[in-house]
Amino acid sequence: MMLSDWVGDVPEFFAEHWRSRPAIFRPAERFTVPITLSEVDAAIDSGLLRTPYLEMVRKSTPIDEADYTTSRSVNGVVADGYAEAAGVRRLLDEGVTLLLRNVEHWHAATRSLVERLEADLDRRVETFLFVTPPGKQGLPVHRDDADVLLLQINGSKHWRVYGGPPTANWGPGRAGNVGPALLDESVREGEVLYIPRGFAHEAVGEDTLSVHLSFTIQYSKSICTPPASPYTPPPRPSTPNPSPARAASSCSPSSPPPWPLPTPSSSAGPLQPRQKRGSGGSRVLFFARRLMLAT
Residue 87 main-chain phi, psi, to 5 deg = -70, -40
Cα angle value 226/227/230 (rounded, 5°): 125
Measured from the CB atom, the residue of 14 and 130 that comes closer to Fe ion is: 130
Could you tell me which stretch among 1-9, 127-135, 224-232, 236-244 binds Fe ion (CB under 5 A)?
224-232
Could you tell me which stretch among 59-67, 123-131, 228-236, 254-262 binds Fe ion (CB under 5 A)?
228-236
If binding is defined by CB under 5 A, does position 230 make contact with Fe ion?
A: yes
Measured from the CB atom, the residue of 174 and 277 that comes closer to Fe ion is: 174
The rounded Cα 5 to chain-centroid distance in angstroms is: 18
Distance CA(212)–CA(86), nearest Å, equals: 22
Shortest spacing between CB 195 and Fe ion, in angstroms: 7
Q: Which of 55, 120, 144, 191 binds Fe ion (CB under 5 A)?
A: 144
Measured from the CB atom, the residue of 88 and 148 that comes closer to Fe ion is: 148
Binding footprint of Fe ion, residue count (CB under 5 A):
2
If binding is defined by CB under 5 A, does position 226 make contact with Fe ion?
A: no
Measured from the CB atom, the residue of 81 and 140 that comes closer to Fe ion is: 140
Helix axes 37-46 and 85-93, enclosed angle (nearest 10): 130
Q: Which residues are paired to 240 by β-bridges?
A: none
Could you tell me which stretch among 48-56, 69-77, 82-90, 141-149 binds Fe ion (CB under 5 A)?
141-149
Shortest spacing between CB 282 and Fe ion, in angstroms: 29
Measured from the CB atom, the residue of 196 and 230 that comes closer to Fe ion is: 230
Distance CA(60)–CA(73), nearest Å, equals: 33
Could you tell me which stretch among 57-65, 108-116, 137-145, 268-276 binds Fe ion (CB under 5 A)?
137-145
Measured from the CB atom, the residue of 65 and 144 that comes closer to Fe ion is: 144
**Residue of 206, 87, 216, 83 whose CA lies nearest to 146:** 216
Distance CA(32)–CA(34), nearest Å, equals: 6
If binding is defined by CB under 5 A, does position 196 make contact with Fe ion?
A: no
Distance CA(46)–CA(107), nearest Å, equals: 13
The DSSP letter of residue 102 is -
Helix axes 282-294 and 85-93, enclosed angle (nearest 10): 100
What is the footprint of Fe ion within residues 64-123 (CB under 5 A)? none
* Contact between residue 179 and residue 243 where contact means Cβ atoms under 8 Å apart: no
Interface residue list for Fe ion (CB under 5 A): 144, 230
